[in-house]
Amino acid sequence: MKVVNITEDSIKDLLKSLLKRSPINYREQEDAVNKILTNVKDNGDLALFEYTEKFDKVKLTAETIKVTDEEIAEAYEQVDDELIRVIRLAMKNIEDYHEMQKEESWFNSKPDGTILGQKITPLSRVGVYVPGGKAAYPSSVLMNVIPAKVAGVDEIIMCTPPGHDGKVYPTTLVSAKEAGVDTIYKVGGAQAIGALAYGTESIPQVDKIVGPGNIFVALAKKAVFGYTGIDSVAGPSEILVLADETANPRYVAADLLSQAEHDQLASAILVTTSLEVAEKVQAEIEGFVKDLERKDIIQASLDNYGYILIAEDMDTAIDAVNAIASEHLEIVTKDPFGTMTKVRNAGAIFLGESSSEPLGDYFAGPNHVLPTNGTARFFSPLGVDTFVKRSSIISYSRDALRNIHNEIETFAKAEGLTAHANSIKVRFENEE
């Protein structure tokens, strides 16, 4: 990991380096994604079948593209009962947390006959993308599906790539069934995003696409925005630990590595006011890496985007934290709750040494789909509000409108929109 003293210039350089990982910088892949999307848009299922055979080595048909009840039943036989128990416990925590996010419609009336309000409406149909490939991610299924269910979405469909045997990971299927997915399709990659956005003979068009994926999936989501809604364009995983002299270096090191193992592009950053803690964390990391299964990925991540930032005081450290705007932020200080009040930009904030990042990934309840690449400056975690729309409600009585019609006409005329003014004026032309 690179050890850097925090200055204005060093933070600028760091941010520039981290932004290299953003999906906006992958022009070559973007061209390939656009070709795939155009093919799916023009040729529907035929394109899906061609790409699935090319990329996943599986021949699909209209009869086999959809996961059957029998396949789901088979998956339950293959998944350990203990894991199913844990999935159900996690589901309860996730559901309880997201229930507290629900927003209700409201109306406000005044004696003059003015009624204003807001109507909350769930989306009709949502598509959830779940990665396949090298690993299964049942936690991603839960985190994307459960908020949609809590929001009241009518229909949830899921796309996930099949393995070479033509089947979907059993844990993915079990998690999807437990969470309440209505239909599952064996399609992955940019082509799956195209199918969800445009619709094909087999896969219906959705109102919004959510879920993580590789760079091709991220670029595809970015490209189809406008045909359908998306949650965000996600980048590689990130963790930032803010620590003072009270932090346990061994815990900090372990937490940094929990995200470094995701991807060679993942970033792991320690911001600390203590040189002693920094040195001890570095030593602990070296010891851990030797024994961890994904040590090659971890080492590449640390070499590329691993930093230890030394701050002269806590205010300087917090300024750096806010500038980086990390996906995951752990605060391990003497007073983590007090420190937290000064943090403006972070996807999820973990307070205290017993609140390590994997707690949020799997079990606590808050969503682990979080803004990356500095977008925590203006984006929020995925939640119930991701799956609803707000409609404004306006109702004026004639008396209420009469009291302010001249003001509206004045405003409209100031903008040169005389038809706007006339729309109000005609209602009172017989009273003049």
Out of 30, 261, 284, 327, the active site residue is: 327
**Residue 95 annotated as catalytic:** no
First to last CA, the chain: 78
Tell me the DSSP string of 14-54: HHHHHHTTSGGG-HHHHHHHHHHHHHHHHHTHHHHHHHHHH
- Closest by Cα among 298, 300, 297, 318 to 309: 318
- Closest by Cα among 136, 121, 187 to 157: 187
CB atoms inside a 10 Å sphere around CB 85: 10
Q: Tell me the C-alpha distance between 70 and 187, whole Å.
A: 18
**Residue 327 annotated as catalytic:** yes
Report DSSP state, residue 200.
-
Q: Tell me the C-alpha distance between 12 and 31, whole Å.
A: 30
Report DSSP state, residue 104.
-
Q: Judge contact between 60 and 186, C-beta under 8 A.
A: yes
Cα–Cα–Cα angle for 1, 328, 129, nearest 5°? 110
Q: Which two tokens stand for residue 323?
A: 């500038």
Out of 328, 330, 353, 357, the active site residue is: 328
Catalytic positions, written as ranges: 327-328
